[in-house]
Amino acid sequence: MKCIEDLKAEHRAVLVTLDILEKICNDLNNNSQVNHSHIEQIIEFLTVFVDKCHHGKEERILFPAMEVAGVPNNGGPIGAMLLEHEQGRKYIRGMKDTMRALDSSHPENVQTFLKSATNYKTLLTAHISKEDNVLYPMAEERFSQELDLSLMEQFDTLEETEIGVGKHEEFHQMLKTLKGVYLG
């Protein structure tokens, strides 16, 4: 299923980003010098690529199609994923609210950022595992090839309208650069 392959590929990019974020957090925790533009790039990736684009594909396209195919939302796996998306948004807001104050002499700003970032990484790592191993196989069992093609077209349209043509590739280039800096 191409639509599920697309989402899983995005998950792999998210996991790399979370590893980079963890390395940045380790540096912050050890009072090492951190490039604040890298933090801003990561926050933009989490806000635009992960939430607006990836979660947008799930919330506006995939999950409604799964509901039509018989997967429950309320009290079911879709509802659980939606709650986790909301929790992730809160953690991103926590990082955004404190990232500009990381240079200040207030260590509580660093601790608040670290807590939000660590909680986000923990949440999203488990979330991705649930989607890849439980939710997405449910979709694959229920979706026809025709529906899969339709969903892919809708994914492409959402990506172009929500984040813009070429932005997806820009994010992947940014990740490649940051991966070289932080993950060797």
Please work out, in degrees rounded to the nearest 5, the angle formed at the alpha carbon of residue 45 by the alpha carbons of 43 and 51. 95
% residues pLDDT > 70 (the chain): 98
- Tens-digit pLDDT profile for residues 98-109: 887 776 566 777
The range of the structural domain enclosing residue 64 comes to 2-182
57: Cβ contacts below 8 Å, ≥ 6 apart? 6, 7, 154, 155, 158, 159
| Terminal C-alpha separation, the chain | 33
- Tens-digit pLDDT profile for residues 29-88: 888 888 999 999 999 999 999 999 999 999 999 999 999 999 999 989 999 999 999 999
Please write down the long-range contacts of 40-45, taking CB distance under 8 Å and 24 or more positions apart.
Answer: 40/99, 41/174, 41/178, 42/17, 42/178, 43/92, 43/95, 43/96, 43/99, 45/17, 45/171, 45/174, 45/175
Q: How many domains does the chain have?
A: 1
Q: Can you tell me the distance from the alpha carbon of 50 to that of 57, in angstroms, rounded to the nearest whole number?
A: 10
